[in-house]
Amino acid sequence: MLVIFDWDGTLCDSLGQIVAAMQAAARKCALPVPSEAAVRHIVGLGLPQAVAVLYPEHGERDREALAAAYSTCYVAADPGPARLYGGALELLEALRGSGCELAIATGKTRRGLDRVLAGLGMQGYFESTRCADETASKPDPRMLSEILRERRRPREQALMVGDSIYDLDMARRLGMASVGISHGVHDHAALGAHHPVAIVDRLSELEAVVAGLAQSRTA
């Protein structure tokens, strides 16, 4: 089984930092400061797409300035190595031990993902990674298609795990199974509308879900 994870809000407890950086960037650019709820809702999209959702009435120049300011504010406020959700490392180790391949499909930039993985010493955990600035942003399923092609896996042997509707909608569009996790940006009701095979509240619950799905696919 190939298990593809979203990063922010799924494995990495970074939502507070994202909200603070976006609000600081808005103040720096003299734009209306978005609410926490508004910023959380766009987590998972590529940065240009997220800014467009937050500021639909502003022009491309304002959006580009905000995106640049956000990147600067995010890095400047970075306190050090990213903080993972409880049980994340244990889950990844258990999945690897059971023979699963691991991948990441994220709205982060390549530079941002590489920086955070290097800070955590986790470069070797994932066989494939795709970032929004090197392919189409979620919910377009292109990054999933690229990961499947790279790993030479059919979609029936893969699972997308994410905390946002964009993660699950991306998988749904490709006909890939997904699992939602409720500790991130979207709740059970929002995640359930995209027909995941399961919704879990903690990462520790995911190992059993993956094992059950893998067993059903090989039965």
**Which residue type, as a one-letter code, is found at position 179?**
V
Q: Out of 76, 107, 128, pick the residue that ends a domain.
A: 76
Q: What is the Cα–Cα distance from 217 to 58, expressed in whole angstroms?
A: 48
Cis peptide before 139 (omega within 30 of 0): yes
So what's the pLDDT on residue 79? 66
- Are 129 and 199 in the same domain? yes
- Are 149 and 182 in the same domain? yes
First to last CA, the chain: 14
- Are 89 and 72 in the same domain? no
pLDDT tens-place string over residues 18-73? 999 999 999 999 999 999 999 999 999 999 999 999 999 998 899 999 999 998 99
- Are 102 and 163 in the same domain? yes
- Are 19 and 63 in the same domain? yes
The total number of structural domains that make up the chain:
2
Kindly give, in sequence order, each residue whose CB lies less than 8 Å from that of residue 151, ignoring residues fewer than 6 positions away.
2, 101, 103, 127, 128
- Are 98 and 59 in the same domain? no
So what's the pLDDT on residue 105? 98
CATH number for 202: 3.40.50.1000
- Are 19 and 9 in the same domain? no
- Are 35 and 122 in the same domain? no
Residue recorded with tokens 């059950």: 212
Kindly give, in sequence order, each residue whose CB lies less than 8 Å from that of residue 125, ignoring residues fewer than 6 positions away.
92, 96, 102, 117
Q: Out of 29, 53, 76, pick the residue that ends a domain.
A: 76
So what's the pLDDT on residue 76? 82
- Are 90 and 166 in the same domain? yes
So what's the pLDDT on residue 198? 96
Q: Out of 28, 52, 76, pick the residue that ends a domain.
A: 76
- Are 203 and 119 in the same domain? yes
What's the domain range around 70? 15-76
The string of DSSP codes covering 133-185 is GGSPPTTSTHHHHHHHHHHT--GGGEEEEESSHHHHHHHHHHT-EEEEETTSS
Helix (H, G, I), strand (E, B) or coil at 109: coil
Beta bridge partners of 102: 3
So what's the pLDDT on residue 218? 64
pLDDT tens-place string over residues 123-155? 889 999 999 999 999 999 999 999 999 999 999
Residue recorded with tokens 């500790």: 183
